[in-house]
Amino acid sequence: MTAAKRRLLTGAISAGMIVLSSPAVPQEGLVRGLLGLPEKDTRPPQRAFVLPSSDPSVSSEAAPALRAASNFYGMPGLIDMPAAHALPDGELQAIVSSFAGITRTTLTFQISPRLTGAFRYNRFADINLDGFEDYYDRAFDLHYQVLREDEDGWQPALAVGLRDFVGTGIEAGEYIVASKTFALPNEGRLRASAGLGWGRLGSYGDIGAPFGEDRPQFVPGDTGGEVDFGQWFRGPMAPFAGLEWQPGGRLQDLRVKVEYSSDAYDLEAGTQGQFERRSPLNFGVEYQANDTVRVGLYSLYGSEIGAMVTIAGNPRRSGTPVRLGGPGPVTQRPDRQAAPEQWTSAWLANPNAPKAILDLLTPALAEQNITVTGLSLPGTTSAANTAVVRVENGGYEAQSIVVGRTARTMAALLPPSVEVFRIVIENGGLPTGEVTVRRSDLERLDGTSNRSQALAAATTVGPAPVSDEGVIAPEGRYPNFQFSFGPYLSASLFDPTAPVRADVGLALTGNLELSRGLIIEGVIYQKLAGNVGDGRLPDTELEPVRTLGTLYADNDTPTIRRLTASYSAKLSPNVYSRASVGYFERMFGGVSGEVLWKPVDSRLALGAELAYVGQRDFDQRFGFQDYRVLTGHVSAYYEFGHGYRGQVDVGRYLAGDVGATLTLTREFANGWEVGAFATKTNVSAEEFGEGSFDKGIVLTIPMQSITGQVGAQKVSRQLRPVQRDGGARLIQEGRLYERVRAGHSEAIFADWSQVWR
């Protein structure tokens, strides 16, 4: 056994997963420390796979008896005040809280075991700021657990947080808080929290300003959105505290809370007179209805009644089980000594043998949602005991399922003399990676207790072939036309005149694959009803490349949402290319080219894209307006391990501004993704307008995890506080990185335990 394989077979428990691994590169230590991940990333850069633990929704640490809860701001806390605990790793929460005409709607994500992030949308009823009857505001929060609680000792949990640190600052505040949980008789628990707050959290009962008196205040009409590092932990500092009690026994789903608040609500209870703040004490009772829903009722500030509903889910759970019919056990070859005539290679002399085998493989794999795109056999381009089959994933979230099913189907249908299976993973006709499995390993390991680990150690992933020489395609493979027809829903969020607008209609989608890598795609929309086109047209100092979105939506006739022709090809073992022409999105069309460098076993990828596009007519037919722009970016991608990856794009955007976009994403084994991005260009905050710079959250949900149906599409949604013209990038379907990485080592081994499904 090689040293690399010995490293691969070394098991380590990390973040609730059994990780088979080798040491990580040392440069990643700072990132892992910030995220609260293990000091050493135990996944190898070349061959890494993860087997779910018995309960993948929790970490390897003992779960606290007192379940973590969120406060009115959607962050770990009591009622209005923060606490030092963290939510379960990977948890997503949608939280709606309301009192005194203040409604907060928050999307919260436990980014890592220690780091919590939230995006919040607030409605302040009857507060007339900026000329609106109701005032709407957006905010981002971060909460970092510096120390974990020592449940057997006296060390409390300790956390530091930033509230509304990217926004108008109407809710801006910072805090340091400690929490300690105590066991009570009858299995009850009591959590005590105390801390110091600044900003809004330092506005009542302050005890001084140790880090400086000067702190900028909220100014109505300000563009907001900038990160003001100079105000953090400045101004008056005030203490806050609270208790949370969980009864034991049959009442263990109840929570009783009391807190002392350091928020004076100067704007709402003072300047605007929205409610009367009579007391700093808040009281609440919460009920955990099930693993998903928590409801609460509260008495706030001596004068108000409030309510909160929390809906929680964790992408680390598998979701709806996907029922798979399958090829079953590995078909065993007859004993070579007992039946030597069946092991003969004489069949190679038959020129019809490749097509005959291809005709067997193609329907057998099609029944399993795997498309065969090509085959080469001994006597063509392969060694005498090798078969190479090219396949495309028909919708499985785990690429290992595609590998395992293809290999077992080959074992059932190919002559016994074929020992080596080379499975080329393609994506849209683009060969990305090649998985090599020995047939004898499949036969030997089938049914054994450690078969996944052992098969991984015997499996290699290498670059896919560059040439198509010797490959035969299934008869009738090209041209291949597919289409779908169904409803669509298009939403516009966060317009202060109407926070939610939506259009509904019918969509016709078509895909024509003319040859390997050459595809024509189109989408036609017909709106039936909606009000997205009634939205406002914000003033802009830049070229209006995005702020005219309502004019594109205000259309009741059929529109060409997208119509493109693209050709993708592999230029060398590590270099991929794409060329596209057409109407890329509803606002822009033109020509685009892209190249990507990514070795199959590398976590790093580098790419470049260049496009010359024009602004489309509002009717989204075939015409263009006068505006033209040359736009493009150079990009770097890196997979940190544990499902985290980063992307940096530097270049020229649609409005002609120049800058960079940073994107951080966490991907889960079942296909869920949660990410955040921020773009800074040479456009000033004043020129950019409301929001100061482009930023947002990206949530991708694989419908397979909800419906249980293989091949179900992914739904991806960007949540931007506001859509402006600065930092606007061309929307381009089929960019290379996501297509290519799907066939490389990280993706193949990411959930290798499913290879036998």
Say what the pLDDT of residue 45 is.
Answer: 35
Mean pLDDT by groups of 10 residues along the chain of 757 residues: 33 27 38 47 35 35 64 96 95 95 94 94 78 79 95 92 84 95 89 96 94 74 64 94 92 95 92 90 96 96 97 79 73 90 86 92 93 83 78 89 95 93 95 96 92 93 92 91 92 78 93 95 95 81 92 93 97 97 97 98 97 97 97 97 94 97 92 92 87 87 73 78 90 95 91 88
Query: Is the separation of the CB atoms in 331 and 411 below 8 Å?
Result: yes
- Residues 6 or more apart whose CB falls under 8 angstroms from that of 467 comprise none
Q: Do the domains at 92-313 and 347-476+746-756 have one common CATH topology? A: no
Question: Do β-strands 189-199 and 238-246 pair in parallel, antiparallel, or remain unpaired?
Answer: antiparallel
Alpha-carbon separation of residue 542 from 300, 553, 633 (angstroms): 45, 21, 20
CA angle 519, 520, 521 (to 5 degrees): 115
Q: Identity (one letter) of the amino acid at 594? A: E
Angle at 309 between CA 304 and CA 315, to 5 degrees: 150
> Residue by residue, what is the 3-state secondary structure of 382-404?
ECCCEEEEEEEECCCCCHHHHHH
- Residue 128, pLDDT score: 67
Contacts of 347 (CB under 8 A, 6+ apart): 353, 415, 417
User: Are the C-beta atoms of 237 and 57 separated by less than 8 Å?
Assistant: no
Note whether 139 and 152 are within 8 A (CB): no
Q: What is the pLDDT of residue 276?
A: 94
- Please tell me the CATH code under which domain 347-476+746-756 is placed: 3.30.300
**Separation of alpha carbons 179 and 164, rounded Å:** 22
User: What superfamily in CATH does domain 92-313 come from?
Assistant: monomeric porin ompg (2.40.160.40)
Helix (H, G, I), strand (E, B), or coil: what is residue 335? coil
Distances in whole angstroms, Cα of residue 248 to Cα of each of 145, 190, 191, 310: 27, 11, 14, 22
Q: Which residue has the tokens 């390991």?
A: 445
Residue 177 C-alpha from the chain's centroid: 30
pLDDT at 217: 72
Per-residue confidence (pLDDT) for residue 65, from 0 to 100: 61
pLDDT of residue 215: 82
Phi and psi angles of residue 366, each rounded to the nearest 5 degrees, phi first = -60, -35
Q: With 0-12 CB in 10 A as exposed, 13-18 as middle and 19+ as buried, what is 307? A: middle
Q: Are 381 and 402 in contact (CB under 8 A)?
A: no
Instruction: Map out the domains of the chain as residue ranges.
Output: 3-44, 92-313, 347-476+746-756
Helix (H, G, I), strand (E, B) or coil at 34: helix
Q: How far is CA 387 from CA 79, 344, 419, 605, 663, in A?
A: 63, 15, 8, 30, 40
